Amino acid sequence: MFKSLRKQLSVIIPVILASAILVWLIYPNYDSMVEVLRNSQPVWLAVSLACAAGSYIFMSLMLWDVLRLLKNRVNFIPTAAITLVSTVINYFVSSAGVSGFATRVFYLGRYGVPYGSCVTSSVVITVLIYVSLAAIVAGGSLLQFIQAPSFGRSFWESVLGVAAVLSFASILTVLFFNDRLRFRWCRKIYMLVNIFVYFFSRRRFIPYEKFKIFEEQLDNGIAMVHARTEYLPRLIIYVFADWICNMLVLYYAFRAVGVSMSISSLIIGFAVGMIMTVIPILPGGLGAMEAAMTASFSRMGIDTASAITASLIFRIFYYIVPGVISIFVYWLLKSSVTAKNLSSAVPAGEMSASGVMMCSSAAEKSPEKYTMSHVMRSDGKEESDRKN
């Protein structure tokens, strides 16, 4: 009963907080926003929506190419479906990215992708995303400084934003690609995961043998990233194209409500909003992102009602519309993996998360519960967790 109440509160509280922020933001400007929407231009709205679709396509290409780099061949269509569903879950479930990652691992596993490759691909993509975001913000800040040389508040805000994003990406890169640090931190995380699993489920600790298999996969994946650098230029192009499409969703949302702005203003306001999306308790930074964007663009002289309306259009096109589509994609994805030949054997000695196909029906219904404790033995059979 306590666990059920806790799960319900983990959903209800973030929604209440986000709703309160949105009401506080929209209510005083409601009449002005209605007028702005009435005069909006449908052509620019369509372009904004198309840019949102482009962003998700480039995200899918990123994952598809990283999997190919790691010698895991998955067709583009299922990769795109998994990308969409896992990304949407990340946006709507307040779990610091864990739910989306677990969903991605679960469904990639059904296509024969090892758990270690899933972790490696996620870290590589995350590092590239944050490094490119830092470069974009730095470029926007430089343009803004060139146009209006000043060491005021906006300048230092952009400097802090670049420093925060670069610091996160740098720490992740060093921890992941430095062999000694990775060895040390993997074991610390392994111990923490064991404590966490035991505390909440009273199941036995994850066997050390499973951890060693995972660690070996991780080492092999990193070695491939180092050896196959010819993939990196293409990945960098995909990452920047994703961010550009993402920003264009916001830019054309503003064009739709009759506001034009410089590239530097767009980048700064966009970056401020994106930083708010990492707040763990709010699903996709709902409310906080809109409030931050509105405050940032208002300081640039843009009408408050137009800023709120454009940020909400961005929210709808980039988050809500894909969220609705992902419901149908999830159903198709689940149907397609169920229709696969579940009796196909995993080759001897090949450690593959495709063994998750033999997991219990409870795990199948809740991919969020799929964790490292589901890693399979090399013969493809599951080591079931036993209660103490």
Average pLDDT on 163-178 reads 73
Per DSSP, the three-state class of 349 is coil
Position 86 in a domain: yes
Q: What percent of the chain has pLDDT over 70?
A: 71
Do 363 and 370 contact (CB within 8 A), yes or no? yes
Position 36 in a domain: no
Average pLDDT on 40-65 reads 95
Position 290 in a domain: yes
Do 352 and 170 contact (CB within 8 A), yes or no? no
pLDDT-derived band at 375 (thresholds 50, 70, 90) equals very low
- Predicted confidence at residue 383, as pLDDT, reads 40
Q: Which of 114-123, 203-212, 236-245 has the lowest mean pLDDT?
A: 203-212
Do 285 and 311 contact (CB within 8 A), yes or no? no
Position 243 in a domain: yes
- Predicted confidence at residue 160, as pLDDT, reads 73
pLDDT at 33 over 50: yes
Q: What percent of the chain has pLDDT over 90?
A: 27
Q: Which of 87-91, 95-99, 263-267, 368-372 has the lowest mean pLDDT?
A: 368-372
Domain that holds residue 166: 51-374
- Predicted confidence at residue 96, as pLDDT, reads 54
pLDDT at 297 over 70: yes
**Cα 31 → chain centroid:** 34
pLDDT-derived band at 62 (thresholds 50, 70, 90) equals very high
**224/69 Cα distance (integer angstroms):** 7
- Predicted confidence at residue 317, as pLDDT, reads 95
Position 162 in a domain: yes
Position 157 in a domain: yes
pLDDT at 388 over 50: no
- Give the tokens for residue 108: 């990639």
- Predicted confidence at residue 10, as pLDDT, reads 63
- Predicted confidence at residue 292, as pLDDT, reads 86
Do 313 and 48 contact (CB within 8 A), yes or no? yes
* 76-102 per-position pLDDT tens digit: 999 999 999 988 887 776 555 567 777
Average pLDDT on 282-292 reads 81
Position 102 in a domain: yes
- Predicted confidence at residue 203, as pLDDT, reads 58
pLDDT at 65 over 80: yes
Position 57 in a domain: yes
More confident site: 14 or 355 = 14
More confident site: 275 or 246 = 246
Total count of domains within the chain: 1
Average pLDDT on 25-30 reads 90
Per DSSP, the three-state class of 102 is helix
Average pLDDT on 140-144 reads 70
pLDDT at 9 over 80: no
**Cα 223 → chain centroid:** 24
Average pLDDT on 270-277 reads 78
**176/84 Cα distance (integer angstroms):** 25
Does the reported pTM lie above 0.85?
no
